[in-house]
């Protein structure tokens, strides 16, 4: 693995996307210098920026570059400027969802970790969130997001249809991913469903239960999604790995993000296909674009996840995570996590500080 070169497609996107991806690139480069690997970063347009320049939020050249890369680093997409476009040209439906589908990245990993230095930053009490470390595994290429949809006029009104589809195979592959991750962690897997109402949840629960036999060392439990939302704010540390279908995972992962104090801290990895997609869990925050005030840590930590899940470089991934913890422990804060007695730094300064700590080790 020494001195390997990895080709990374960098898709900065809209709003604050370019600022945060620049810092992740800086930190990855530092990690490469220290751990003997190099990166070839190739930029391409996506989202509103791509629509403005090329007339489509996911131009064919961008998709082609992604498919020829070893991994993809995405900033954020969307903004009010593009909200009124027809659905298929909007950044979310026209670029992000098709990109996930085209790459077949069916497992979306969203860790919610409370760094010691930030235990007071959450809106929940310190004793509830201190030491929190949960991993949400969200199914990403099926369910309501991709099911058949229809909108029609009837009797002077309208009628919509939206379908939630899953096959045994789709449930199995993401569940196996979650069991595997639980096995490397605290060996507890909680599968989220709405088995009392949805047929899709009954299949989901059947499949997950059947697979449990292959992972006797993992303790499996099931929870209804409404109860899960409540338990996440009541006592989030009871969970280790949470496995959910697409829509439930979208909602629960924002909830889990807030437990950690700021959405600006939450990375994500979308994996399972041959090329992984790494992006912060936050959006494009257009009102902060270009001001240099946002938190690049979510994107920097997404870079660490890339090193771990796409390249198997646990050494470099761990070094980035420790550097983030060290920067926070030394009192450096971007505006979203600023506390009295700490030192407020810009987006680029935070990137420089973390890159410096990665290189020094
Ligand atoms: C997310 C986002 C996306 C989703 C939107 C932008 C389509 O909320 O990644 O969680 O719902 O998957
Ligand atoms: Mg979401």
Beta strand pairing call for 219-224 and 37-43: unpaired
What confidence score (pLDDT) does residue 2 get? Answer: 53
- Nearest CA, atom 9, ligand 1: 281
**Hey, which residues are catalytic here?**
145, 194, 226, 250, 254
**Alpha-carbon span 130 to 117, nearest angstrom:** 10
How far, in Å, from the CA of 330 to the mean position of ligand 2? 31
CB neighbours of residue 176 within 10 Å: 16
Q: 41 has which bridge partners?
A: 8
pTM for the whole structure: 0.95
What confidence score (pLDDT) does residue 361 get? Answer: 81
Specify the DSSP element, H or E, that contains 230.
helix 225-234
What confidence score (pLDDT) does residue 272 get? Answer: 97
Structure tokens at 142: 């099926």
Specify the DSSP element, H or E, that contains 224.
strand 219-224
* Strands, E assignment, 225-330: 241-244, 269-271, 276-278
**Alpha-carbon span 58 to 69, nearest angstrom:** 16
Ligand nearest the Cα atom of residue 77 = 1
**Alpha-carbon span 218 to 184, nearest angstrom:** 10
Residue with tokens 């410096």: 356
- DSSP single-letter state for residue 337: G
**Structural domains of the chain sorted by starting position, each given as residue range(s) with its CATH number in brackets:** 1-108+261-361 (3.40.718.10), 133-259 (3.40.718.10)
**Alpha-carbon span 247 to 163, nearest angstrom:** 12
Q: Which of 82, 90, 92, 112 to mutate to test the pocket of ligand 1 (most atoms within 8 A of CB)?
A: 92
- Nearest CA, atom 1, ligand 1: 250
Q: What is the largest CA-CA distance in the chain?
A: 70
Nearest partner of 74 among 21, 7, 137, judged by Cα: 21
What confidence score (pLDDT) does residue 1 get? Answer: 47
- Collapsing DSSP to helix, strand or coil, 193 comes out as strand
Residue with tokens 């990137």: 351
Beta strand pairing call for 332-333 and 343-344: parallel
Contact 285, 16 (CB under 8 A): yes
Protein residues with CB under 6 Å of any ligand 1 atom: 92, 96, 250
Contact 285, 14 (CB under 8 A): no
- pLDDT digits (tens), the chain, 361 positions: 456 899 999 999 999 999 999 999 999 999 999 999 999 999 999 999 999 999 999 999 999 999 999 999 999 999 999 999 999 999 999 999 999 999 999 999 999 999 999 998 889 999 999 999 999 999 999 999 999 999 999 999 999 999 999 999 999 999 999 999 999 999 999 999 999 999 999 999 999 999 999 999 999 999 999 999 999 999 999 999 999 999 999 999 999 988 998 889 999 999 999 999 999 998 999 999 999 999 999 999 999 999 999 999 999 999 999 999 999 999 999 999 999 999 999 999 999 999 999 998 8
């Amino acid at each position: 693995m020494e001195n390997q070169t990895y080709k990374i497609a960098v898709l900065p996107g809209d709003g604050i996307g370019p600022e945060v991806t620049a810092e992740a690139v800086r930190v990855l480069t530092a990690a490469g210098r220290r751990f003997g690997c190099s990166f070839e970063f190739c930029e391409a347009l996506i989202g509103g920026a791509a629509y403005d320049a090329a007339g489509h939020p996911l131009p064919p050249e961008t998709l082609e570059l992604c498919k020829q890369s070893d991994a993809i680093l995405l900033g954020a997409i969307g903004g009010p400027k593009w909200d009124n476009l027809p659905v298929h040209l909007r950044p979310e439906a026209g670029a992000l969802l098709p990109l996930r589908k085209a790459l077949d990245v069916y497992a979306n990993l969203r860790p919610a970790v409370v760094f010691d230095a930030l235990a007071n930053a959450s809106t929940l009490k310190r004793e509830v969130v201190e030491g929190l470390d949960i991993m949400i595994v969200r199914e990403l290429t099926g369910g309501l997001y991709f099911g058949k949809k229809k909108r029609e006029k009837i009797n002077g009104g309208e009628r919509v249809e939206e379908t939630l589809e899953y096959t045994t195979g789709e449930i199995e592959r993401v569940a196996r991913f979650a069991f595997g991750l639980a096995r490397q962690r605290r060996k507890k897997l909680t599968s989220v469903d709405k088995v009392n109402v949805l047929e899709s949840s009954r299949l989901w629960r059947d499949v997950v239960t059947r697979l449990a036999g292959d992972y006797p060392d993992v303790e499996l439990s099931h929870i209804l999604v409404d109860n899960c939302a409540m338990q996440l704010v009541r006592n989030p540390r009871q969970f280790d790995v949470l496995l959910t279908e697409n829509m439930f995972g979208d909602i629960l992962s924002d909830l889990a993000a807030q437990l950690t104090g700021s959405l600006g801290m939450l990375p994500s990895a979308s994996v399972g296909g041959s090329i992984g997609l790494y992006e912060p869990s936050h959006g494009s925050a257009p009102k902060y674009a270009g001001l240099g005030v946002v938190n690049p840590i979510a994107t920097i930590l997404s870079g660490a996840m890339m090193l771990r899940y796409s390249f198997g470089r646990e050494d470099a991934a761990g070094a980035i995570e420790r550097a983030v913890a060290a920067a926070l422990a030394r009192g450096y804060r971007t505006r979203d996590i600023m506390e009295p007695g700490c030192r407020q730094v810009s987006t680029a300064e935070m990137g420089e500080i973390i890159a410096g700590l990665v290189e020094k080790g």
